[in-house]
Amino acid sequence: MTLIRSHADTRSDEYKANFKFHTQLNDDLNEKLARIRSGGGEKARARHADQNKIFVRDRIALLLDPGTPFLEIAPYAADGVYEDSVPAAGVVAGIGRVSGVTCMIVANDATVKGGTYYPLTVKKHLRAQEVALENR
């Protein structure tokens, strides 16, 4: 593989300012993703746990073949769209391996508004089905 060499001056003030700015953007994005992955908030998560229910990402982890990756699709869906927060549009969708077969997984997150479907929830679910169909 050919090595791509950079001609950027990593000691310049411009480089350092850009690096700092983009590092902060990346940190903000990761923080937002962590909030999204926590689902419908602490109160909803506590209620879910009190009912001995398994959280959505834990259910997916149990379904996947051990040690295999899960590529989540559209975790930022519905972010900032509705007046109330609807993390990941209320569903987790992604590609993973189950019994040795690569497949699309869509799982409802009951901690997000009790599992209510919003218009973008439907759109995300349908898009996951399209991706699965296109990659049979």
- Give per-residue pLDDT as tens, 61-86: 999 999 999 999 999 999 999 999 99
Domain ranges of the chain: 13-134
Correct CATH for 13-134 of 2.60.40.1840, 3.40.50.720, 1.10.579.10, 3.90.226.10: 3.90.226.10
The answer to whether 69 and 104 have CB atoms below 8 angstroms apart is no
Residues with Cβ within 8 Å of residue 97, at least 6 apart in sequence: 64, 65, 68, 103
Is the overall model pTM greater than 0.85, yes or no? yes
- Give per-residue pLDDT as tens, 9-29: 999 999 999 999 999 999 999
Q: Which of 117, 119, 101 is nearest to 109 (CA)?
A: 117
The structure tokens listed for 38 are: 């926590």
Q: Which residues pair with 106 in a beta bridge?
A: 93
Q: Chain centroid to CA 73: how far? A: 6
d(CA 101, CA 70): 13
